[in-house]
A and B are shown apart, each in its own frame.
Chain A
Amino acid sequence: MHPDISSWEDLDGGEILPLFYDEDRLVLLTRDPYWLFAYWEFSGETKTNVEATVQKPWEELEFALRVHRFSEGNREESYYDIKINPSALNWYIQVGVPDRQYRVDLGYYPPGKGFVPVLTSNLVSTPRDNLSEVIDDKWRLPDWQARRFYRRIARSSLSSLEMMLQREKRYREAKKKGGFSLD
């Protein structure tokens, strides 16, 4: 080996990737129009404080993720709680509604009391899985043309084939019921 060439181990310098960083952190990521992913950690200090407040060991606390959903314009539409194990480090959250904003709190239920948030996440959005309902009048195709346009794209898509086929199917079904229009 050449003298100025170092081994992989040498370059890593004996460092080991830590599991945690001893800080309070709850990060929310979007996976797709229906799912989010959250990971978190509590600092030692926060753990101690919570335990002191409720007079219970951490492992015996009832933890939950509170998922807040916001519509455009930041109006809170709803929230719900997901109970989680105190040892969980991350969670895939099925939020189920595309084109919305979400924020998550991680907290616990003190005995006999309501939810107490400890960490709160960043705000994320789920993508649309649909054509936008917003139409710029200067850029509007007549309905019959728009139908022709989008139907061919939907028919031939590969990367988003599944989604588009589902959408087309839903469109047809909805159409049968007279429910909604693609245009």
Chain B
Amino acid sequence: MTKGYLALILHAHLPYVRHPEYAHSLEEKWLFEAITECYIPLIRVFQELKGDGVPFCLTFSLSPTLLAMLEDPFLQERYANYLSRMQELAQREEERTAGDPVFSPLARMYRENLNYVSYIYNEKYGRQLVRPFKELQQSGHLELITSAATHGFLPLLAIHKEAVYAQLAAGMAYFEQVFGFLPRGIWLPECGYDPGFEEIMGELGLHYFIAATHGILYASPRPKYGVYSPILTPGGTAAFGRDPETSHQVWSAKEGYPGDYNYREFYRDIGFDLDLEYVGKYLHPPGLRSNTGFKYYRITGPDNYKEPYNPQRAADKAREHAANFIFNREKQVEYYGGLMDRPPIVVAPYDTELFGHWWFEGPQWLKYLCRLLADNQYIEMITPGRYLEKGYPLQLSTPNASSWGDKGYYEVWLNGENDWIYRHLHQAAKRMIALASDFPEAEGILRDALTQAARELLLAQSSDWPFIMTAGTMDMYARARQTSHLTRFLKLERQIRKNSIDAAWLKKLENADNLFPQLDYHLFQPMSGTVPIERDKLPVI
């Protein structure tokens, strides 16, 4: 008998990074590592489970910028090259460690992993990594959803309702273009929600979104069942709240699973440990110390002393942690179930990039979790979409403004490091809305310029730039990207206004910032109910 539901949600996102102008872009490696270490290992787990007839389901959010990169032939080519270099390194590592009883099996493990990645990427799917996701959606194992077009942090763009609408609508449109159907749910970037979004989401026909714990807990009227039942927002979209216990079990610095001493140590990588002469040509860019993914040690303990990694012990631990996770869910749903007229739903969202990259054993943990749950009579895996189909009556309530970022609100994206961007982002949005209003039926090069202006604005709005500025690593890159997309937008806008579009330069921009080929600039057309900032100016006395 089902006592409770578990909705696992993996949100996969990377900013749009594509630099044909450089032989090696440090930042393109974010995508390459995520494909090798997260996306394909997860696909492997899902396909294995499916092949074994294990009934499982979870929700997978693929951000539009990530989808666009997975679909881009230039990045596909670059990734394939990167992967074959890594395979070459794997071979050399096997030779280097040959005869060593401890390290040689680890080198072999990496070679086998990379061979499998190559099999999936190159042979089975011909570089089209969205295909396995589509298959898993069709077989009912994954509920695919998406996010705002470039993962804009919507609460800080919301002085223009159109900007929020365009981010969501463009993201959904691109998702539909890739997968052939519209997503039922949306991952609001960073769970950033502001009252009023529910109207826009309702207009877009979205069935649900995920909110931070206190977004639901502090909703009004007070939700009777806290985060253990979704609420229905006035716009008609349901809001599911993040469960704090499941996030704690994975994320807690002290007690979180990924910190277990048997798990693989992230910070000991041959890219730093071995001679540059040997490893240098496999680094990205060559010769510059960076991670390779070849890591031979386990966390071992709190200090610098590290022992070699033992895959079997780590796998046993992953299984133990999966069982512990389920045990805790049983207790949890028993506790809440006793207070509710329906089985509680535990919503557990995670960044996909945690699984495999930071937490090497994460995909294995997930595999054991699904296998154990298949035989568990109390906890049933579910997706938000399927939960809604069950037809439990939902309480009408409006969530509280919130995010899942540090401190729970907007400070990560609005502080002394990044607050300068909003003056420009708002100005650009205002001008884009005016363009869409003044040129309702543009054709030819004018239409192309308007579309590219919309692309540049969307790229400028990525939450990643202010986030990286706050984090303080790679912040030069983030500042450069932020500034470039804004200036490209402003220059386009001026050319459109002056009717002097530089066709050659536009072409270059279209080739460089080439995401969302069918983007419709009309998404920025003025909507009613916008905050009337301009009109509020007082006369000078």
Interface residues of A (CB under 8 A from B): 1-2, 4-8, 10-13, 15-18, 21, 24-25, 27, 29-33, 35, 37, 39, 41, 46, 49-50, 53, 90, 105, 116-123, 125, 127-136, 139-141, 145, 148-150, 152-153, 156-164
Chain A residue numbers with a CB within 8 Å of B244 are 153, 156-161
Chain B residue numbers with a CB within 8 Å of A134 are 220-222
Q: Do A153 and B487 touch across chains, with their CB atoms under 8 A apart?
A: no
* Closest partner residue, chain A, to B244 (CB atom): A157
Binds A, one of B135-143, B311-319, B416-424: B416-424
B538 within 8 A of A: yes
Chain A residue numbers with a CB within 8 Å of B409 are 30-33, 127
- Measured CB to CB, the closest approach of chain B to A20, in angstroms, equals 8
Chain A residue numbers with a CB within 8 Å of B213 are 153, 157, 159-160
Question: In whole angstroms, what is the CA distance A32 to B251 when docked?
Answer: 23
Chain A residue numbers with a CB within 8 Å of B484 are 8, 11-12
Q: Do B222 and A158 touch across chains, with their CB atoms under 8 A apart?
A: no
Question: In whole angstroms, what is the CA distance A141 to B270 when docked?
Answer: 57
Contacting residue for B20 out of A2, A17, A136, A159, CB 8 A: A2
* Closest partner residue, chain B, to A127 (CB atom): B401
Given known A31-B410, A134-B222, A139-B221, contact A120–B487 (CB-CB < 8 A) = no
- Measured CB to CB, the closest approach of chain A to B245, in angstroms, equals 4
Q: Do A153 and B541 touch across chains, with their CB atoms under 8 A apart?
A: no
Question: In whole angstroms, what is the CA distance A13 to B487 when docked?
Answer: 9
Q: Do B511 and A122 touch across chains, with their CB atoms under 8 A apart?
A: no
Given known A12-B487, A37-B419, A131-B218, contact A27–B159 (CB-CB < 8 A) = yes
Q: Do B247 and A158 touch across chains, with their CB atoms under 8 A apart?
A: yes
Interface residues of B (CB under 8 A from A): 19-21, 155-156, 159, 194-195, 212-214, 217-227, 242, 244-245, 247-248, 251-252, 335-336, 339, 395-397, 400-402, 404-405, 407-411, 414, 419, 422-424, 426-427, 480, 483-484, 486-488, 490-491, 502, 505, 507-509, 511-513, 531-533, 536-538, 540-541
Contacting residue for A4 out of B220, B511, B532, CB 8 A: B511
Contacting residue for A6 out of B410, B483, B508, B540, CB 8 A: B508
Question: In whole angstroms, what is the CA distance A2 to B408 when docked?
Answer: 46
Given known A17-B483, A17-B486, A29-B414, contact A159–B408 (CB-CB < 8 A) = yes
Q: Do A153 and B426 touch across chains, with their CB atoms under 8 A apart?
A: no
Q: Do B541 and A116 touch across chains, with their CB atoms under 8 A apart?
A: yes
* Closest partner residue, chain B, to A103 (CB atom): B536
- Measured CB to CB, the closest approach of chain B to A58, in angstroms, equals 13
Q: Do A50 and B533 touch across chains, with their CB atoms under 8 A apart?
A: no
Chain A residue numbers with a CB within 8 Å of B212 are 159-160
Q: Do B396 and A8 touch across chains, with their CB atoms under 8 A apart?
A: no
Question: In whole angstroms, what is the CA distance A145 to B335 when docked?
Answer: 11
Q: Do B335 and A152 touch across chains, with their CB atoms under 8 A apart?
A: yes
Given known A49-B540, A160-B213, contact A140–B488 (CB-CB < 8 A) = no
Question: In whole angstroms, what is the CA distance A171 to B333 when docked?
Answer: 26
- Measured CB to CB, the closest approach of chain A to B235, in angstroms, equals 17
Contacting residue for B400 out of A4, A119, A128, A141, CB 8 A: A128
Cross-chain pairs A/B with CB under 8 angstroms, 7 sampled: A119-B537, A122-B532, A125-B195, A129-B218, A134-B221, A160-B408, A163-B408
Given known A5-B511, A15-B487, A37-B414, contact A132–B220 (CB-CB < 8 A) = yes
Question: In whole angstroms, what is the CA distance A132 to B218 when docked?
Answer: 6
Question: In whole angstroms, what is the CA distance A129 to B402 when docked?
Answer: 10
Q: Do A136 and B221 touch across chains, with their CB atoms under 8 A apart?
A: yes
Question: In whole angstroms, what is the CA distance A119 to B541 when docked?
Answer: 11
Chain A residue numbers with a CB within 8 Å of B21 are 1, 5-8, 11
* 14 further contact pairs, Cβ within 8 A, besides A1-B21, A37-B414, A159-B404: A11-B488, A15-B490, A17-B490, A27-B533, A39-B422, A50-B540, A118-B540, A122-B531, A136-B397, A141-B225, A153-B227, A158-B252, A160-B244, A163-B214
- Measured CB to CB, the closest approach of chain B to A96, in angstroms, equals 15
